[in-house]
Amino acid sequence: MIEQRIHGNEMEYLEEVLGTDFRASAGASMMKRFEQAFASRFGSKHGIAFVNGTATMHAALEAWGIGEGDEVIVPPLTMASTTFAVLQCNATPVFADIDPDTFQISADAIAKQITNKTKAIITVAVFGLSPDMDPIMQLAKDYGLKVLEDNAECFLGEYKGKIAGTIGDCASFSLQNSKHLTSGEGGIVITDDDEFADRLRKIVSLGYAGVSAKSGKVSRKDIQDPNYLRHQILGWNYRMPELCCAVALAQVENIDALVDRRKAVGKLFEEVVASSSDWFRSQVTPADHVHSYWTFVAQLMRDDVTWHALRDRFQMLGGDGVYACWKLTYQEPFMINRDFLNRSRYISEERLAEYGAGLCPVAELVQPRLFQFKTNYWDFSRAEAQAEILHKTLASFV
């Protein structure tokens, strides 16, 4: 059982990169090792590393040719980066409501939002649980849509025996400091689509002609040739630094232990809530899913107890900080004020008018009632103490 988050080859691999003095001839070697290790663990053909888990989604949409006039369906109950990625490629985010028990984007709600402008669906495995993917994939097949799985919060979660992130056309993962695996910052996209992976690599690497799905580096022979035509397409400098790749590779080597710790802590909280209260309900995990517990989430079901009262009682009894759920994306100031950095001109007046109260009533009901509890306890006895404090907190409101 692990006792700390950084416990593998992180320092060794960092020293290996530093030992190269960042020579161009040594560039991208650690990135390649990380990409191959990550893709292999998920059973995917390709892994493309990125500077973060927002650039991943932006680049994927660009690689599919999604842009002005196109619509992408997204959930409202998640971090705003999912919507940012849509806006960054000048497309229109369309919000579909969530399931009241799992808090995941609902296939029925998606179906109601599909138009002849819809080009893709971004699902989010929010809190570490996969959405119900089969009906979503059927909708995608019926309407010819792409599916991007935003798995920033879900590493090694499962859906009907499949690893979450291996079901859609591609999946995005974040390596930001709060995630199951981290290199401080970073991200990666996995896919089995060769053509898409090639184009994605060019987008992440300034459109260089010499890069491909399997190679993130331009050869010295090419780059030194005065006749070399470098930039085949428009691209961004979204490449993940070698130092971050070094840490990420070491984290992948320990992915099972890192994920298993969060799952163990999540189940600990799950048991406490199940035995303590019928008015504080945990996120429902369907029988054919495996939750990866980026956080443990529960919903306050009583109207005579406020969110702040429960949070304050928990902390007064010795509990660690409790996280609220993000405001729904369309309730954030940038959406209310239409401050899209001059991109509102790409969105129809009808869609702009939708971004307000009543758009996703289930999500609007659920969001203010959610509590997120930390699961990244490397000292398991501390997690057990926190679970006991939660039990005492709930009992104190009886």
Tell me how far apart the alpha carbons of residues 355 and 278 are, in angstroms, rounded to a whole number: 34
> 19-39 burial, b for 16+ CB within 10 Å, e for fewer?
eeeeeeeebbbbbbbbbebbb
- Is 202 annotated in the active site? no
CB 291 within 8 A of CB 129: yes
Residues 6+ apart with CB under 8 A from 126: 75, 77, 78, 103, 104, 153
| Residue (of 163, 397, 366) closest to 283 by Cα position | 366
How far CA 154 is from CA of 76, 129, 150, 250, in Å, comes to 18, 6, 9, 18
Q: Active site residue: 146, 179, 217, 263, which one?
A: 179
Catalytic residues: 179
